[in-house]
Structure 1
Amino acid sequence: MAKDPNGQRGPRIIKERIALDQGIHLTRLYVENTMRAQDPEGFHVLICIGPHQEWSGDGHDKLAGIGFPIWGVRDVWSGKWLGLWVVPNNRLKDSIAYLFLKLVHEYGGIPVQMTTDCGSELVSVYGFANALREAFVSDLPIEELAAHRFLQSIHNITIERGWLPLRLEWGENVKIFWDAGSTTELDHLRDAFNNHRVRKDRGKALPSSLAPNVSFSLYEKYGGENGLLPVDCTIVKQLMENIGGEDLIRFVSRDYAAKAQAVFVDQLGNPKLTMTNVWDIFQEMLPCI
């Protein structure tokens, strides 16, 4: 236990390590009872106590085969989708790091802890989470509370549970439409999820029977504590540019995007773009580009 100051290892892992290191085979029950006696608080149920205490991030690959890899972040306490992006590739560490920093810049701070699965594309997120904590919140040492925690996907519950409604409401339909409208529709769907009032769950320790936007904004009313740790956004912005900037998540070049936008606004009159009309709009734009 002395080798695990963050208390991340359960009785099964400790039992295996003792057998491996010392050659002593103990029962799991014996190990658990000893651990409870040494650190009773370590067995308390962990409950997130407010917004920004923990962000849960993950990629969604169900639509990657047709060019729509997604990466998203949810606030664990409220369930609010903080960010949901269609990107060219959600397996590139710089692209994912840019999205993490973009979210930090948007909110002006970092969460107490960021949790993701163990994908290799997340090493830069891990690095930035630790570096920003050490630079701006040095009174909360990483040794006492990790700034980033890697979990198996099945344990990264908040974000994993969010993908099924996304696929059911949006994923199957997007396969028959053109990608230009995907970001607009995804933003709309994120707003719909964040404003959807969830059912009452008496067995849930986190807020229920209200929309994520409500609990996120009025957290004090529902017993929450804001965990956002302020950072210098100027430095965060510079970090975003240093790793490649917005080009990391662009599908086309800046010049092409500017030309297409000019045609869309000046010649087509800036129509509302939806999943149902995006193909027609593309066909109108194509001769002009």
Structure 2
Amino acid sequence: MSYKDILKSLALQGTIITERHLNRILRSRLLYRRKYDLDAEIDFSVDQLQGPGKVLGYRWMYTKCKQHGISIRKEDVRVLLSLLDPIGSQVRQTRRLRRRQYFAQGPNFVWHIDSYDKLKPYGICINGCIDGFSRNIIWLRAALTNSDLKVIGGYFVEAVERCGGCPLLVRTDMGTENLVVRDLQRYLRRNDVDDRAAERSYITGASTMNQRIESWWGVMRKEGINTWITLLAELKDEGFFAGDFIDKALSQFCFMPIIQEVLNDIRGVWNAHRIRPSKNTNVPSGIPDVMYMAPHLWGAEDSFH
């Protein structure tokens, strides 16, 4: 608080004094508003940078110093942080979010499973699975529901039979439709002795953390599904789709086989196209089918169990 604010606050409490008398009281108690303690600020900043304070900007750090009774100029805090943490200061200056880099050791190290609900209001539910290393689409299916755990579990069983094994890890969101997949994955990995065996072979989290499959939904929509989203939305806007049981049944009967063909085409083209290199050196570039079938070309190994 400034001296004027201190005097106003005291006046509201019934104590009226002059600024000169206020200064006299503060000096007698060894309290100084502008007696800077640079050494204390350096020690405090070093301590903060070793913990959660490493992400703080100089304005936030300046306020924390004031709260801890350290008198320091804001410009001094900025200079100290730029010297003590030059990389962090440079990242904050760009004003861009610093994301963690994705990493998978090889094909079948982790499968990402998720459902796509943009067509669900019309009775058509899409579920997919993508390999984290190669970005190969393991399955991409349209069905009457994506909330029946037996249906999603059936997709997983078919994939395991077709591929000849189960992945090291399975990653899904926290929906109950994935419970059969969870139980199957844990059962298939029950006798393994690695550090990700049994219950640790299945991972759940928020949908935003399941980034491999979540980001791929944008590709699927752009490459063909958006046409059907627009078409069905137009039918609804024009009064030809009320959303009741009969309308959904007609939509499933007329459109689901066609949409499944579109999904098969999208999956085939994606698995055969070449992924461009990215800034993340941990993520390989190449053709998903080739990366999935021949990981040794990228110095990786298949993680099938």
Which TM-score band (shorter chain)? Answer: 0.5 to 0.7
Give me the whole-angstrom Cα distance separating, in 1, the residues matched to 2:162 and 2:131.
14
TM-score by length of 1: 0.60
Q: Where does structure 2 lack aligned partners over 5 or more consecutive residues? A: 1-47, 55-99, 232-253
The one-letter amino acid paired with 2:161 is H
Give me the whole-angstrom Cα distance separating, in 1, the residues matched to 2:101 and 2:270.
28
Q: For the Cα contact (< 8 Å) 2:110–2:131, is it kept in 1?
A: yes
**1:63 Cα deviation (Å)?**
1.1
Counterpart position of 2:66: none
Give me the whole-angstrom Cα distance separating, in 2, the residues matched to 1:196 and 1:142.
32
**1:204 Cα deviation (Å)?**
3.7
1:191-202 to structure 2, matched below 5 A, reads: 191-202=268-279
Alignment identity in percent?
Answer: 24
Counterpart position of 1:184: 261
Q: Where does structure 1 lack aligned partners over 5 or more consecutive residues? A: 1-26, 34-43, 230-289
The structure with the larger Rg is 2
Counterpart position of 1:151: 205
Give me the whole-angstrom Cα distance separating, in 1, the residues matched to 2:266 and 2:108.
22
Q: For the Cα contact (< 8 Å) 1:78–1:216, is it kept in 2?
A: yes
Equivalent residue of 2:225, what SS?
helix
Give me the whole-angstrom Cα distance separating, in 2, the residues matched to 1:31 and 1:73.
36
**1:143 Cα deviation (Å)?**
6.4
- 2:221 maps to 1:167: yes
Give me the whole-angstrom Cα distance separating, in 2, the residues matched to 1:107 and 1:32.
47
Equivalent residue of 1:201, what SS?
coil
The one-letter amino acid paired with 1:62 is K
Give me the whole-angstrom Cα distance separating, in 1, the residues matched to 2:121 and 2:269.
25
Q: What RMSD, in angstroms, separates the aligned Cα atoms of the two structures?
A: 2.7
**1:59 Cα deviation (Å)?**
0.4
Counterpart position of 1:70: 126
Give me the whole-angstrom Cα distance separating, in 2, the residues matched to 1:207 and 1:183.
29
Give me the whole-angstrom Cα distance separating, in 2, the residues matched to 1:30 and 1:178.
55
**1:31 Cα deviation (Å)?**
8.0
Counterpart position of 2:160: 104
Counterpart position of 2:193: 139
Distance 1:196 1:51, change over 3 A: same
Give me the whole-angstrom Cα distance separating, in 2, the residues matched to 1:226 and 1:162.
22
Q: Between Structure 1 and Structure 2, how many residues are aligned?
A: 191
Counterpart position of 1:87: 143
Q: For the Cα contact (< 8 Å) 2:134–2:284, is it kept in 1?
A: yes
Deviates more, 1:108-117 or 1:194-203: 194-203
